[in-house]
Amino acid sequence: MAHGGPRRVRLRPGRLPHLPSDLHREILLRLPPDQPKLLFRCAAVSKVWRNIITNAEFLRRYREHHRVPPMIGCVYNYRERPAAGYVAMIPKLPTPLVPRLPNDGHGLVALDSRHGRVLFRRAHWRRTLVLWDPLAAHHENVSLPAEFPNANVNWSAGILCAAVQPCQHLNCHAEPFSIVFVGITEALASAYVYSSATRIWTATASVPPPAAAAAARMKDMATTVVNGNMYFRTDRRAIIRYHFVGDAHRLSYMEAPPAIPGQGDQGTVLVPAAGGRLGFAGLSSSSLVRIWETQVGAAEAAAAWEEPRSVRLPLPARRLMGSVESTRSLLIGTRTGPGPISLNLESGKVKTLPKPKGTTILIPVMGFCTPGDV
């Protein structure tokens, strides 16, 4: 019996359209990165497509064509169990794999994420960092610098790509990486850099903390990288800036803008702004975000913030939960709706994220999920 409507055509394994091989590559090149299951399904169609999709040159062109890696998911510290340490991940993409956290997330505290890798510290044995590659299903331990034997020292750490500069961070997933450690004592703030190539920590910079920041504690929040500078947050108005470009690495302090009435530090986040500027965002009401911007020179220890601009929100907001460097977006917890949203500050585009449980801070994990990488 005949049925109405268009006839659905299914492509059987091994049966490909008679097209030039270059055209096959151009078609596969345009598959959207935020739907990685399509690439995996196409890789199962035939040996020809599988060879194309897993080829290193194709993967390089694929990343360069799409430029901005999609969000794989978000990791967060479960705040209901802060003493024991428990990390969870909410996947964002419909991937054919489910990333499994080291030790299923127990005994860990999330610190940072960049270029497809995630950095944790041990909740109890604070002298160890854990670096996790969710796509490669691999993690490794890194001991802290020996110069800081006190496990209770005030410190935090962030992760960087160590590929030869200038790097667009599109094909550096398998390249060497660096970890930036900043520890603070009563007299000195010191920076050390770990190289995955040499597995050695190197002291790079130090500076006495200003009086206003002497008692500031570094927060377990993701770092923000802008224009060759890595920024660390504290529980006060002090922001720690580590300049890592070139041979003369520098460490300095700068002051955050005046606090917004009614908003704590967890309701404010750093975000890259246009032109190499650093942005500071905070909620002024449930429907409005205020954003300060500044241009920080390579040799400046402090900078003046410009008058803030306001961004109207599409939904009533509960708090700011993080930011996405590559897209200059804010992660916002909403009062209504299924979960947090991602708001692109340039285009105004809004995306809904899966709803986490018991958290105030989200750390996005970005990367291209392709058969050649997994």
CATH number at residue 320: 2.120.10.30
Examine the domain organization and report whether 47 and 142 are in the same domain. Answer: no
| Cβ(290)–Cβ(282) below 8 Å | yes
Examine the domain organization and report whether 164 and 307 are in the same domain. Answer: yes
Taken in order 229, 162, 281, 78, the sign of the CA dihedral is: negative
Examine the domain organization and report whether 218 and 240 are in the same domain. Answer: yes
Examine the domain organization and report whether 57 and 77 are in the same domain. Answer: no
| Cβ(301)–Cβ(316) below 8 Å | no
- pLDDT for residue 105: 92
- pLDDT for residue 1: 46
| Cβ(332)–Cβ(317) below 8 Å | yes
Examine the domain organization and report whether 222 and 131 are in the same domain. Answer: yes
Which three-class secondary structure state does DSSP give residue 241?
strand
Examine the domain organization and report whether 222 and 281 are in the same domain. Answer: yes
- pLDDT for residue 8: 56
- pLDDT for residue 78: 84
In a domain, 338, yes or no: yes
Residue 109 CB neighbours (<10 A): 16
Instruction: Identify the domain boundary among 46, 64, 82.
Output: 64
Report the alpha-carbon distance of residue 323 to residue 71 in Å, rounded.
12
In a domain, 232, yes or no: yes
Tokens for 135, please give them: 């796509």
Instruction: Identify the domain boundary among 29, 64, 99.
Output: 64
Closest CA to 65 of 272, 368, 372: 368
Examine the domain organization and report whether 154 and 130 are in the same domain. Answer: yes
- pLDDT for residue 262: 53
Task: Kindly report the length of the chain.
Answer: 374
In a domain, 12, yes or no: no
CA end-to-end span of the chain, whole Å?
Answer: 45
In a domain, 134, yes or no: yes
- pLDDT for residue 241: 94
Pick out the chain residues at pLDDT < 70.
1-19, 79-84, 94-97, 125-126, 149-152, 164-174, 259-266, 295-303, 372-374
Examine the domain organization and report whether 249 and 172 are in the same domain. Answer: yes
Number of domains in the chain: 2
Q: Give, in order, the Cα–Cα distances in Å from 33 to each of 45, 64, 215.
A: 18, 12, 44
Closest CA to 119 of 185, 194, 197, 228: 194
Examine the domain organization and report whether 184 and 60 are in the same domain. Answer: no
Enter the pTM of the model. Answer: 0.88
In a domain, 1, yes or no: no
Examine the domain organization and report whether 164 and 118 are in the same domain. Answer: yes
In a domain, 7, yes or no: no
Examine the domain organization and report whether 52 and 164 are in the same domain. Answer: no
Instruction: Identify the domain boundary among 8, 29, 64.
Output: 64
- pLDDT for residue 299: 43
Domain extent, residue 233, equals: 68-257+264-366
Examine the domain organization and report whether 55 and 122 are in the same domain. Answer: no
DSSP at 354: P
In a domain, 243, yes or no: yes
Q: What is the pLDDT of residues 301-312, one digit of tens each?
A: 456 888 889 999
